[in-house]
Amino acid sequence: MAPVDTRGWEPWQHEYSHGAFYVFPPREVAQAVDELRRRHDPISAAICDAHVSLSEPLSAPLSDDQLRELRQVLGLIAPFDLDYGPLTQIGEHPGVVYAISPVDPFFELRHAVHATSAFAGHPLPRAERAPHLTVAEFITIERTTELLNELREAPIGTFRCDRVVLALPDASFRFRPVLSIRLGGSTEEPPS
């Protein structure tokens, strides 16, 4: 894959130049969440479609051996259901997110990915971050309170976590899925 021109990126964005792993909800869930994102935080919506951040950013492109290892590890993890909702904020940070539960299988998945050689020897500062689907993050604390009140009737639901997706940013820092690895050893599919 050709290197991306990162000259227009902000300093914090460079950490993501090799991408990271995410859980993308199915299309029908993503469409509803993305509509909220476009309406209430177009900056965040322009960076990536609705997703649950899974891993730390990769420090280098995946090698063939690391990819084989990830496929092997993820093949041992059975798909599981995740509930999204209600809308909340994470601690005192401004922003509105869908809470994701149950957290235990999600943290087990995150730990399994982080235990592979692709992340060996690298700090994992986000390892304990609560899983969530972001609706709005580039907003003020006042707007957070208003938005939580405005969206209190936002739909909630459940989706199947059956794959992990590697997404890479392009030159405009828009993340695109480039690799999808199914859980439980079933056949891989291209990212949707």
Percent of the chain surpassing pLDDT 70: 95
Q: Is the pLDDT of residue 189 over 70?
A: no
pLDDT at position 130 is 94
Beta bridge partners of 21: 166
pLDDT band at 132 (very low <50, low <70, confident <90, very high): very high
State the pLDDT confidence band at 78, using cuts at 50, 70 and 90.
Answer: very high
Check pLDDT > 80 for residue 73.
Answer: yes
Distance in angstroms (rounded) separating the CA atoms of residues 93 and 140: 9
CB environment 84-111: b (16+ within 10 A), e (fewer)? beebebeeeebbbbbbbbeeebbeebbe
pLDDT tens, position by position, 174-188:
999 999 999 997 555
Average pLDDT of the chain to the nearest whole number: 93
Provide the CATH topology of domain 16-183: Cyclic Phosphodiesterase; Chain: A, (3.90.1140)
Q: What is the pTM of this model?
A: 0.92
pLDDT for the residue numbered 35: 96
What are the extents of the domains in the chain?
Answer: 16-183
Confidence bin at 124 (pLDDT 50/70/90): very high
User: What pLDDT, on a 0 to 100 scale, did the predictor assign at position 93?
Assistant: 86
Rounded to whole angstroms, the Cα distance separating 167 from 1 reads: 13
pLDDT (tens digit, 9 = 90+) per residue, 157-176?
999 999 999 999 999 999 99
pLDDT, tens digit, 9 for 90 and up, residues 81-94: 999 999 999 888 89
Mean predicted confidence (pLDDT) in 118-126: 92
| Res 191: pLDDT | 55
On the CB side of 18, CA atoms within 13 Å amount to 12
